[in-house]
Chain A
Amino acid sequence: MAPKQANFSKEEELLLQDFGRNLSKKSSVIFYVHAIFVSAIPLWLFNRVHQMELVDNAVLFVIGTLVSAYLISMAYKNNKFEMKHKIAQKRGEGVAAEVYSKTAESDSSKKISKKEKDERILWRKNEIAEAESMQLAVFYSNSLFLIVLILSSFYFFKNYTPMFNYMVSMVGSSAVTALLSTSSKK
Chain B
Amino acid sequence: MSLKLITIFLIACAGLVHAEDGDAKLILIKNVLNSIITEGNDLMVQYTLYNIGDGAATDVNLADSSFHESDFELVSGMTSVKWERILAGTNVSHVVIVRPLKSGAFNFTSAVVQYVASEGSDTTFGMSNDLGELDILSLKEFKRIHASHLIEWGLFGVWCIPSIVLPYMLYYKSKSKYSLKAKKN
Contacts and interface: CB of A to CB of B under 8 A. Distances in A.
A17 interface: no
Interface residues of B, number: 28
Nearest to A43: B159
B174 A48 contact: no
Contact of A44 (B144, B155, B162, B185): B155
B185 A97 contact: yes
Contacts of A34: 163, 167
B163 A96 contact: no
B179 interface: yes
B18 interface: no
Nearest to B171: A135
A162 B144 contact: yes
B181 A94 contact: yes
B74 to A, nearest CB: 28
A74 B179 CA distance: 29
Contacts of B141: 51
Nearest to B184: A97
Interface stretch (A19-27, A139-147, A170-178): A139-147
In this complex, the member of A34, A49, A91, A94 whose beta carbon has the largest number of chain B beta carbons within 10 angstroms is: A94
A41 B179 CA distance: 34
A122 interface: no
Interface in A96-118: 96-98, 100
Nearest to B147: A49
Contacts of A135: 167-168, 170-171, 174
A98 B159 CA distance: 36
Interface string B166-177: 011011001101
B144 A51 contact: yes
A93 B153 CA distance: 43
Contacts of A136: 167-168, 171
In this complex, the member of B159, B177, B184 whose beta carbon has the largest number of chain A beta carbons within 10 angstroms is: B159
Nearest to B168: A139
24 contacts: A34-B163, A34-B167, A37-B162, A37-B163, A45-B152, A48-B152, A49-B149, A49-B153, A93-B182, A94-B179, A95-B178, A95-B181, A96-B185, A97-B184, A98-B181, A128-B174, A128-B178, A131-B174, A135-B170, A135-B171, A136-B167, A139-B164, A139-B167, A143-B164
Interface of A: 34, 37-38, 41, 44-45, 48-51, 91, 93-98, 100, 128, 131-132, 135-136, 138-139, 142-143, 146, 162
